[in-house]
Amino acid sequence: MRLSIFLSAVALLPAAFAQLSGSVGPTTKTSAKRATKTCDVTKYGAKADKTTDIGPPLASAWAACQSGGIVIIPAGDYAMKTWVTLKNGKGVGIQLDGIIYRTGTDGGNMIMIRDTTDFEFFSSTGKGAIQGNGYEIHASQGQCKGARLLRTYKVTNFSVHDIALVDSPMYHYSLDTCTNGEVYNMAIRGGEWGCLDGIDVWSNNIWIHDVMVTNKDECVTVKSPAKNILVENIYCNWSGGSAFGSLGADTAISQVVYRNIYTWKSNQMLMVKSYGGSGYVEDVVLENFIGHGNAYALDIDQYWSSMSKVDGNGVQLSNFTIKNWKGTEANGASRGPIKIACADGAPCTDMKISDFAMWTETGSKQTLTCQSAYGSGACLKAGTGKSYAMVTSTQTAATAGYTAASMAADLKSAFGTTKSIPIPALPTSYYPGQKPISAVAGA
């Protein structure tokens, strides 16, 4: 899906909103690729018997179609024992209508696409999936170990859409040094462990929308370096929550918008995490967030205890616009809805919080905390200046307008790490009251 009308509108908005720098997605239509050539993996030795290794046939089909065409993985159950790195493609797509089940035990990436342009990875039916069976490793070895399900590296003008990624041994999908990409209509479902990231992106000019993530780590997270990132209509359904980081030395992140983010029973609605380091995160908009039952709502922690301190005075955070947050946190007295702990060596500046209405599900009070943070709203200090110690304010009455919608697909419990995780159907909505921006395949 190309993004011309949207970009015309974006061009009229202030700098903090103009996050995308140009069109995203493939430059050649799927139909044109299909008319050029099709390469069915079953013609290269793949069998839908859940036993025969699809790795070599997939590599062969790619080689036959990498200069233009569609690699087709038909409906059916396929085993994957050996991983593939598919590279140097142009005008090529992979149509995953079947289900690939991990049977190999190597680390790395089950499917890695690299050094490729005008690319599409998709299901035409919305039923294509990669089942990582991570629970087999997690239960037997008691640790996260193994492969990512999918990684795109130095891929330009591309899309990944209408597929499910399930129960990865490690991270589910990484976008690494990519440009002009669109990721949408996806369901990611992982175990309840802090090493099973949903989507991690460090790239330029990327649009991620209409994605549901279940795990206990990153939902959709921006890492460094990244620029011109738009993340919207995201359903963090019993997850770790969305984030920036972890941030370290020479961080370079700018022009990022998170919009229409729904978070249920997660660690946080949005976190910025670092400890020491250097560089910047600037020109960020975080708007239209709804949350229920999360440990934290907004959590900016530049003294994050889960990472070792990195050399440097701290990552400079500036020009954050945070507005229209609604819902509830689990316990506002112990973990309040706003925590902004900025680095004393690099105080946050121009942080703007407005229309922020959250309330506690436990007890009758909640706390807001700020440290070395300047701007407007909540407990922020006006102007700019030196570092200052943590200040705390306590609210003993619910803020008007905090009530917010929930989602029918909110999970009642997590999936754990010892049993098979079922492959979900793609949702019909990823944010209350919103239809997917692009029609879900097969809907």
3-state SS assignment for residue 106: coil
Angle (CA) 403 407 410, round 5°? 115
Distance between CA atoms of 203 and 180, rounded to whole angstroms?
9
Instruction: With residue 390 as reference, give the H or E element that holds it.
Output: none
Query: Which of 138, 161, 172, 292 does the annotation list as catalytic?
Result: 292
Give residue-wise pLDDT tens across range 316-337: 999 999 999 999 999 999 999 9
Which string of DSSP letters, residue by residue, matches 397-423? SPPTT------TT--SS---SSSPPPP
Active site residue 301: no
Which string of DSSP letters, residue by residue, matches 249-298? TTEEEEEEEEEEEEEESSS-SEEEEEBB--EEEEEEEEEEEEEEEES-SE
Angle (CA) 221 341 335, round 5°? 80
* Contact yes or no for 405/412 (Cβ under 8 A): no
Distance between CA atoms of 377 and 51, rounded to whole angstroms?
58
Q: What was the pLDDT predicted at 11?
A: 40
Give residue-wise pLDDT tens across range 98-108: 999 999 999 99
Instruction: Quickly count helices (H) and strands (E) in the chain.
Output: 4, 24
DSSP bridge partners of 86: 113
Q: What was the pLDDT predicted at 311?
A: 96
What pTM was computed for the model?
0.95
Backbone angles phi, psi at 141, to 5 degrees: -110, -10
Neighbours of 276 (CB within 10 A): 22
Query: Which of 217, 283, 299, 301 does the annotation list as catalytic?
Result: 217
Distance between CA atoms of 51 and 307, rounded to whole angstroms?
41
Distance between CA atoms of 252 and 146, rounded to whole angstroms?
29
Answer left, alpha or beta for residue 327, where phi above 0 means left and psi between -120 and 50 means alpha. Answer: left
Instruction: With residue 137 as reference, give the H or E element that holds it.
Output: helix 134-141
3-state SS assignment for residue 95: strand
E-strand ranges in 123-250 read 128-131, 147-166, 173-189, 199-214, 218-222, 226-237, 241-247
Q: What was the pLDDT predicted at 231?
A: 98
DSSP bridge partners of 158: 119, 181
Q: What was the pLDDT predicted at 379?
A: 96
Backbone angles phi, psi at 80, to 5 degrees: -135, 110
Q: What was the pLDDT predicted at 12?
A: 38
Q: What was the pLDDT predicted at 6?
A: 44
Distance between CA atoms of 356 and 248, rounded to whole angstroms?
29
**Contacting residues for 359 by C-beta, under 8 A, at least 6 apart:** 328, 329, 332, 337, 366, 398, 399, 402
Distance between CA atoms of 379 and 300, rounded to whole angstroms?
13
Q: What was the pLDDT predicted at 141?
A: 79
Q: What was the pLDDT predicted at 139?
A: 85
Gyration radius (Cα) of the chain, Å: 22
pLDDT beneath 50: ranges in the chain: 4-17
Residue 179 amino acid letter: T
User: What domains can be seen in the chain, in order of their start residue?
Assistant: 1-190+200-209 (2.160.20.10), 217-407+429-434 (2.160.20.10)
